[in-house]
Structure 1
Amino acid sequence: MHTISSGLLVPAIAILLLLLAVSVIELGGLLVEVLTERRKRKVNVPELVEFFQGKDAGAIMSGIESSGLFRRQKAALGELIKHGSLPAASLQALARKLLAGEELHYARITNRTDLVARLGPMLGLMATLIPLGPGMIALGQGDTKTLAESLLTAFDATVTGLAAAGVAYAVSRLRKRWYEGYLSSLEALMESLLEVFARERRIEEQ
Structure 2
Amino acid sequence: MVVIPGSELLAATLNVVSQSLQIPVIIFLLIFAIFAVFAFGGLISDYKTRVRLTRNYKEELIFSLVNAEGVSELKNIIKGSKIYDSQKEVLLKIADSHSLSDESREAWALNLIEEEEEVVMAKSLEKVDIVTRIGPTLGLMGTLIPMGPGLAALGSGDVTTLANAIIVAFDTTVVGIGSGAVAYVISKIRRRWYEEYSSNLQLFVNAVLENLKN
Normalised to the residue count of structure 2, the TM-score between the two structures is: 0.88
Which residue of structure 2 lines up, in the alignment, with residue 76 of structure 1?
90
CA–CA separation in structure 2 for the residues paired with 1:151 and 1:91: 63
Task: Work out whether 1:149 is the aligned partner of 2:164.
Answer: yes
TM superposition shift of 1:21: 1.5
Corresponding residue for residue 132 of structure 2? 117
Counterpart-to-counterpart distance in 2, 1:5 and 1:189:
54
Shift of 1:71: 1.2
> What is the deviation of 1:42?
2.1
**1:174: which partner in 2?**
189
Amino acid at match of 2:53: K
In structure 1, C-alpha distance between the alignment counterparts of 2:170 and 2:195, rounded to whole Å: 37
Structure 2 stretches lacking a partner, 5+ long: 1-13
Amino acid at match of 1:151: I
Are the aligned partners of 2:66 and 2:210 in contact in 1 as well (CA < 8 Å)? Answer: no
Aligned residue in 2 for 1:42:
53
Aligned to 1:11: 24
> Who wins on radius of gyration, i.e. which is larger?
2
Q: Where has structure 1 moved over 3 Å in runs of 4 or more? A: none
Distance 2:20 2:117 in 1: 41
CA distance in 1, matches of 2:47, 2:78: 21
1:203 alignment counterpart: none
Unpaired runs of at least 5, structure 1: 200-206
Partner of 1:59: 73
1:21 aligns with 2:25: no
Query: 1:129 is matched with which residue: 144, 147, 150?
Result: 144
Match of 1:184 in 2: 199
Task: Give the Cα separation in 1 of the matches to 2:66 and 2:78.
Answer: 13
Calculate the TM-score normalised by the size of structure 1: 0.91
Structure 2 CA distance for aligned equivalents of residues 19 and 54 of structure 1? 50
Single out whichever of 49-58 and 144-153 deviates more from structure 2: 49-58
What residue in structure 1 maps to residue 103 of structure 2? 89
Deviation of the 1:53 alpha carbon = 2.8
Aligned residues: 197
Q: Superposition RMSD on alpha carbons, in Å?
A: 1.2
Partner SS, residue 67 of structure 2: coil
> How much does 1:136 deviate?
0.7
Pair 1:100 & 2:114 matched: yes
Query: Could you tell which deviates more after superposition, 41-50 or 148-157?
Result: 41-50
Q: Percent identity?
A: 37
**3-state SS of the aligned residue for 1:68?**
coil
